[in-house]
Structures are given as C-alpha cells and as structure tokens.
Amino acid sequence: MISQDTIDNHAKLIAFQIYDAIEQKKQNNEHLVLGLATGSTPIPLYQELIRLHQEANLSFENVYTFNLDEYCGLSENHSESYHYFMHHHLFDHIDIPKENIFIPGGEVEPIFLKDYCVGYEKHMQELGGLDIQILGIGRNGHIGFNEPGSSVASITRKVELHHVTKRDAASAFGGFDFVPTHAITMGMKTILSAKQIYLMAFGENKKQATKQAILGDITDELPASFLQHHDNVSYCLDFDIYTK
C-alpha cells in the first residue's frame, strides 16, 4: 500500500539535502550542479523545492541543472516533452536563470546528434560534474532511458525505447503506437559520475525491479543494478525490499 506520508517525508528529506548543498556552495561562492529526473516519482520533491523557494527564501541562482533524458521527435512545447514537464513542475516556479537549465534536445538533427551528446557531457564536466543526481526507476530497471542491455560505460546518446517503457507511457500519448520510439539519455557512466545519488521508487509496481537492483546481481539486463558500483546512493522507498 503506497503511503503518501512516506513519499512526502522522502521528498522533504531530499529537498532539505539539496537546500543544504545549495547554501553551502553559496557560502563558498560556488555553484551546485543538479541532475534531474522526470516522471511522476520526483513531483513531490519538486513541490517541496518550490515551497522552500517561496517560504524559506531558497534561491536557485547558483544552481545548474542537467536533465536525464528527452523523447526524440518532440518539440519543447509538446505537452509530453520533458522540457514542458520540467518547466511546468519546477522551473517556472523558482528563480533559476534560464541559461543554467540543460535538458537534452528532442529535435536535434541526426547529423549533429553525436557532437550534441558529447557537448552535453562536456558542458557538465566543465561545470565541475554532477553534485547530486535524482533518479526514478522503470519497471524494467531502467535509469533515465538506459534500457535493459545498456552498458555501464555508456554516455549520453540516442537509444531505442524498450517495450515496457513504451507500454508505461502509452496512456499519456493516447496509445502504444504513438509513444516515441527513441530518446536521448545520459548514460550509466554519466549518472555514476555524480557525487551523490538519490533513487526514489514508490509503489508496489517498482518493488521487484528495485529489490533486484539493490540485492541482486549486477547486470546490464537491469541497469539500475549498476548503482551498486556507487558508494553514495540513498534509496528512498515506500516498501520493504526484504519481504516478498
């Protein structure tokens, strides 16, 4: 049974860690690089960050953000694009400078794509790399759009979406056949380079993949299992992985 209280408490805890990290950087005249995720899972976290901005004077002026992924073929204004999602759920409500926001482009011309992806990585590194990465998880164990079969050494690139991912997105797009077939995603290597990772997984439908990711073998069949290589991951769950 999903407990909204548990979810809200996780969101508050992560938001406070982000608040603290931003304030510490501010005191040193530095910036924070935040990796962000889309989907239903991080929405309570974004609501809490907005609340901290509005009620506790948290400023995002010294924050840079890099999003995990974007569907190929969708314009930034498309209601299912992750550009739209991020502005609607977070960026329009906080004071982050627009030029500090990075989300993979869904409409990059194929001939420019490789350079574009290398540039995305390079820009992240030039800013000092990801300080904190927020993650959800797919039912198939994907992280970002690193679908089963993704290598631990993968970087930002174009990928084909897995049938489970497409099935889960079908209702939002008005049917399976209308879900984009491809996306651009940060790679597993990119994600694992973050200094601190928070993985959020809520609801019984995430339990099996999450349990396998934390307790099972490390395998590219379940890319979330690669997080076992990282020594600073917080798993924020509303279920017990030690029970059936």
Work out the number of other CB atoms within 10 angstroms of the CB of residue 187: 24
Asked about 23 being catalytic, the answer comes back as no
Distance of closest approach, residue 41 Cβ to ligand PGA, in angstroms: 3
Q: Considering the complex, state which of residue 52 and residue 199 has its C-beta at the smaller distance from ligand PGA.
A: 199
138 binds ligand PGA (CB under 6 A): yes
81 binds ligand PGA (CB under 6 A): no
148 binds ligand PGA (CB under 6 A): no
CB 2 within 8 A of CB 9: no
Give the H/E segment covering residue 173: helix 163-173
Asked about 142 being catalytic, the answer comes back as yes
Q: What does the DSSP 8-state code read for residue 228?
A: G
For the purposes of burial, counting CB atoms within 10 Å of the CB of 20, is it exposed (0-12), middle (13-18) or buried (19 or more)? exposed
Tokens of 234: 């917080």
Euclidean distance between CA atoms 235 and 213, whole angstroms: 11
Euclidean distance between CA atoms 187 and 192, whole angstroms: 9
Asked about 140 being catalytic, the answer comes back as yes
Could you say which of 70, 147, 168, 238 is catalytic? Answer: 147
Asked about 69 being catalytic, the answer comes back as yes
Distance of closest approach, residue 22 Cβ to ligand PGA, in angstroms: 23
Distance of closest approach, residue 206 Cβ to ligand PGA, in angstroms: 7
Could you say which of 67, 142, 168, 238 is catalytic? Answer: 142
| Candidate residues 58, 137, 186, 199; the one interacting with ligand PGA per rule CB under 6 A | 137
Beta strands in 144-216 (DSSP E): 157-160, 182-185, 196-201
Euclidean distance between CA atoms 59 and 46, whole angstroms: 14
Distance of closest approach, residue 35 Cβ to ligand PGA, in angstroms: 13
Footprint on residues 92-131 left by ligand PGA (CB under 6 A)? none
Q: Considering the complex, state which of residue 41 and residue 193 has its C-beta at the smaller distance from ligand PGA.
A: 41
Distance of closest approach, residue 50 Cβ to ligand PGA, in angstroms: 18
**Residue position matching structure tokens 């982000």:** 18
Euclidean distance between CA atoms 114 and 77, whole angstroms: 24
Could you say which of 48, 69, 121, 168 is catalytic? Answer: 69
Q: Considering the complex, state which of residue 27 and residue 40 has its C-beta at the smaller distance from ligand PGA.
A: 40
Residue type at position 81: S
Catalytic residues: 69, 140, 142, 147
Q: Which positions touch ligand PGA (CB under 6 A)?
A: 39-41, 136-138
